[in-house]
Amino acid sequence: MNFADPQFLFFLLSVPLVVLWYIKRNHAQRGTLRYSNIQHVKSVARLSGKRKYRHVGFVLRMVTLSLLIVCFARPQSSHTEEEIITEGVDIVLALDISSSMLAEDFKPNNRLEAAKLVAADFIQGRQSDRIGMVVFAAKSFTQCPLTLDYGVLLNFLEKIEIGMIEDGTAVGMAIANAANRLRDSKAESKVMILLTDGQNNRGQLDPLTAAKVADAFGIRIYTIGVGKRGNALYPVDDPVFGKRYVQVPVKIDEKSLREIAKLTNGTYYRATDNKSLAEIFAEIDGLEKTKIEVKQFTRYRELFTFFLLGALILMLLEIILTNSLLRKIP
């Protein structure tokens, strides 16, 4: 409860002053009569039981005054509501899960595991945005459609592993699949994050043609090439010597990824280690923030009527008592 005019509450300080005045006056009005025998006076006092209630009228008057002062202060109850207006962002993550993503140049993980960790942090940092996921190798398929249920999305992300799809790198098909998920979106911003470590070598659609289709639907593509420059360690299962590592050249079609990003008003990034990959996702996260507008409404309900009703009842009760049971005879 709050008060619309709380300054009136200062008048409550007058109540104890009136009480002190009343007590002082009662003491001053006491008279003294001398009797040779007060036995009869005591018997009269015992018969008059109403005497001990003589202050009830004053108490009722003070409580009535206090309630009226509270009424002037206008007590209110309030209820606050919020209206949240968002301009959502729909995002599709397209992850390369070809065998080359097993390269271990993102210590202590391979490229895919490093990408999954950073993508999980990215997902957990979003609010009010629908996010979907596409995975690709020789073919592309939807791992999770656009959703606001980030728990489900993270569960699907965890289940991604190399070998789910025939090996290869179909970048064009991945873009087309992700664009198909975003084309009917009504969001203010439609975004695709394409992460790959290779060159398009499979699929019926080349990456630039697919990017033109995405651009026609108003989709912005951020492309990320993952892999250190030069050579990277790649694990090989040798039937004789067991697991061993070989140096393989890192072949990322950076020219094509730059053209895809430029064509759709996006940006191309190169991630060569865990730190740079995390920084790239953080930058994209900052560029594609959802606009959230919060309007707050407060509804007030006047409560002074309850105090006024109480004051009127006590006032009426005082009038009745002082003119009946507590009536004073001069």
pLDDT digits (tens, 9 = 90+) for 113-172: 999 999 999 999 888 789 999 999 999 999 999 999 999 999 999 999 999 999 999 999
**What's the CA gap between 111 and 97, in Å, rounded?**
9
What does the domain layout of the chain look like in residue ranges? 2-80+301-322, 89-289
pLDDT digits (tens, 9 = 90+) for 182-206: 998 888 889 999 999 989 999 999 9
Query: Is the pLDDT score of 67 beyond 60?
Result: yes
Query: Is the pLDDT score of 26 beyond 80?
Result: no
Architecture of the domain spanning 89-289: 3-Layer(aba) Sandwich (3.40)
